Amino acid sequence: MRYWSLRALYGVLFSLSVLLLTPRTGYRFNLKKGDIAPRDIIAPCDFYVKKPQEQYALEKERAYMLVPPVLVYTGIDEEIMEYLKKFPEKERKKIISVLSKGVLETKDEIPPFYGRKVVVKRDSREYMVDKDSILTLSEAKRRLSEIKDPKIDTLFYMLTPNLRVDLVETERRRKEAGDKVSPYKGRVLKGEMIIRAHDVVTEEVEEKLRSLEEARRGKREIKVYAGKFLYLIFLVSFLYFYLYFKKKEILDSLRHILLIFFVSLIILFIARITTLLDNPFAFYILPLGFAGLTLTLLSDFELGIIGSLFLSMSLLLFTGLRSYIPFILTLTGIGGGIEVRKLRHRAEFYYSGIVIFFILLISMVSVELVRGMRVLEILKASGFCVLNTLGSVLLTLGFLPVFERLFHLTTNLTYLELSDLNRPILRRLAMEAPGTFNHSLIVGALAEAACEAIGANSLLARVGGYYHDIGKIKRPEFFIENSTGKNPHDRLSPRTSAIILKSHVKDGVELARKERLPEEIIRIIREHHGTTLIRAFYEKEKRENGEVDEKEFRYPGPVPSSRESAVVMLADSVEAAARSLEEPAPEKIKALIEKIVDEKVKDHQMDNSGLSLKDIEKIKEVFYPFLCGSRHERIDYEGLGE
């Protein structure tokens, strides 16, 4: 099955995201020093009582500082020993006696510690030596200056320290001593009474309760996470099977799956932030309306509803299973989606914010009044409704262009912008191919009305109608609606004329890509003729040269792959044909519509469009009164208007 692995990956990623983002739950008492115990609390297991963090830190520091610094004796330099042979024996012994005790450059080298004795390592043995008995280089010279010998000055010049502080070893011993300090101050056995009901919580009891929470947390969290994971498996499975049976085209779309995941991730991230806020109304900030608006605009209202419901059920893991908050937030997502599901004006998008605000406000006030909350507190909570509304609208405005570009999806807001007739490409069409421009406006209006009747995206159809023939800009004079004199096809062979007519589709696609039009519009441009036969030139070629290959006179296709694309094809064909009627009487128009639409169906142009027979009948019904009101004449060149 297509994208199977991707669906599984989405489920895993969503589950992990919620597991990581949801607050950790555990064995909690929420009792502090001075509180009254509501019940007897008995130790459910053996556990150690942890020392307060400050006490533990002080004890570790004391153990660290009690370790004496380690000094290493390096002996008397051989050069000095050789030089000492020049001294009389008495002076030589005195000098050796002083130097053999060890000489340090300066006592500032010794790191601070608690105590008076340091460790001196001499060969493989260690000695505890009083810090004050250690001589510095200057002190050693002072003692030896009593020797009245001219050679003593040379000795002073040769003297260097023979004691050094081993900082690495000192730090190792100190760290080892600090690590040996126990973080526990005692042990509580299973079944031991920690505190009786109605007793005041003391500092000692509070320490025991905190220690019990930590001892139980690890064991309990495994169960909690297992429960969360199973719950998420259920939610993802529910979403999967719903889409499988109801919206399989979304389940098979990489873009839509990633869209759902990223929208979910944003909501869950904001939910995690709200758990850090110490406010009982914090969850009312969650902009679930953002999910409803975004999914509806980038897909459809049905996905907006199911997405909002899916996320609200996920949010139960954040709200401690307080179901009323996610339920209220679900209503905001659905309400926002209702307002923008058939967006036709930009103002309607901002109206959705008002809808979200009032849904949230009324729901919140109703629920909190039932729960007994005071009116003043409810007024304070109303501020969170404002933040929720602003968050939903601003997040949607901020992320819509990102998602559109990232996932190559298009919203009605974009179609509204593209429907502006002052856009450069449409102005160019109006100036260079005015007949085509007028034809395109009528096709757009006709397609919009038909799509409105069958429940398709009428705005997409209208915009697709505006742009479907932009390829004619390249050679406008070869299309009869732009011709003001002789028909240029009269001097061309039928094959050449067919090639020119077919080229406007390819040229239109290239121009659309250059203008960075959405893929949905490009698809309509590419498909608006499908694989239709250019019958006039085909028949002319047959008359002139006998049998010909029909494929050479068919548009390259493909046939319409969406309802909107198919409606634009039908609107284009019937409008062009109706313009060519010399006497556009209602009965002729009706017969013309029946003939053209039926021909498209028999020619298999509607096979991949998703239009039902019922849809096609509704389209005919819409076309008839619309075209009856159109009385513009059009020159007929034997069906070449296609």
Q: What is the pLDDT of residues 3-15, one digit of tens each?
A: 555 666 566 566 6
Other residues' Cβ atoms within 10 Å of the Cβ of residue 428? 14
Of 6-10, 347-351, 373-377, 459-463, highest mean pLDDT: 459-463
Taking alpha carbons only, the member of 370, 567, 568, 560 closest to residue 466 is 568
Instruction: Give the CB-side neighbour count of residue 245, counting CA atoms within 13 A.
Output: 5
State which amino acid sits at residue 344: R
**pLDDT-wise least confident of 20-29, 187-196, 322-331:** 20-29
- Residue 69 φ/ψ, nearest 5 degrees: -65, 150
| Sign of the CA dihedral running 219, 221, 222, 227 | positive
Asked whether 640 and 501 are in contact (CB, 8 A), the reply is yes
State which amino acid sits at residue 376: L
State which amino acid sits at residue 197: A
What confidence score (pLDDT) does residue 4 get? 59
CATH class of 414-628: mainly alpha
Q: Which residues contact 616 (CB under 8 A, 6 or more apart)?
A: 597, 601, 606
**pLDDT-wise least confident of 37-46, 67-76, 119-128, 210-219:** 210-219
Mean pLDDT of 593-597: 93
Taking alpha carbons only, the member of 336, 377, 44, 396 closest to residue 194 is 44
3-state secondary structure 463-487: HHHHHCCHHHHCCHHHCHHHCCCCC
Q: Which two tokens stand for residue 82?
A: 């050789």
DSSP letter for each residue of 530-598:
TT-B-HHHHHHHHHHHSS--GGGGB-------SHHHHHHHHHHHHHHHHHT-SS--HHHHHHHHHHHHH
Contacts 24+ apart (CB under 8 A), 245-251: 246/302, 247/302, 247/303, 247/306, 250/299, 250/303, 251/3, 251/7
How far, in Å, CA of 62 to CA of 611, rounded?
83
Task: Examine residue 88 and say whether the peptide bond preceding it is cis (omega within 30 degrees of 0).
Answer: no
Look at strands 117-122 and 125-130 and give their pairing: antiparallel
What confidence score (pLDDT) does residue 11 get? 66
How far, in Å, CA of 275 to CA of 23, rounded?
7
The 10 Å CB-count burial string (b at 16+, else e) for 385-421 is beebbebbbebbeebbeebbeebebbbbbbbbebbee
Percentage of the chain exceeding pLDDT 90 = 32
How far, in Å, CA of 306 to CA of 311, rounded?
9
- Torsion, Cα 171 174 176 177, to 10 degrees, reads 180
In sequence order, what are the beta bridge partners of 130? 117
What confidence score (pLDDT) does residue 635 get? 43
Mean pLDDT of 561-584: 90
In sequence order, what are the beta bridge partners of 187? 48
Radius of gyration (C-alpha) of the chain in whole angstroms = 43
pTM flag (> 0.75) = no
Q: Which residues contact 277 (CB under 8 A, 6 or more apart)?
A: none
How far, in Å, CA of 282 to CA of 71, rounded?
60
How far, in Å, CA of 591 to CA of 611, rounded?
21
Q: Residues, the chain, total? A: 642
Q: What is the pLDDT of residues 415-460, one digit of tens each?
A: 999 999 999 999 999 999 999 999 999 999 999 999 999 989 999 9
Mean pLDDT of 27-48: 78
3-state secondary structure of 129: strand
Confidence at 79, pLDDT banded by 50, 70, 90? confident
Asked whether 618 and 450 are in contact (CB, 8 A), the reply is yes
How far, in Å, CA of 211 to CA of 48, rounded?
7
In sequence order, what are the beta bridge partners of 371? none
3-state secondary structure of 309: helix
How far, in Å, CA of 47 to CA of 191, rounded?
11
Q: Which two tokens stand for residue 21?
A: 């983002």
Give the residue, 480 or 293, on which the prediction is more confident.
Answer: 293
Per domain, the residue ranges of the chain are: 4-26+212-400, 64-179, 414-628
> Is the confidence at residue 641, as pLDDT, over 60?
no
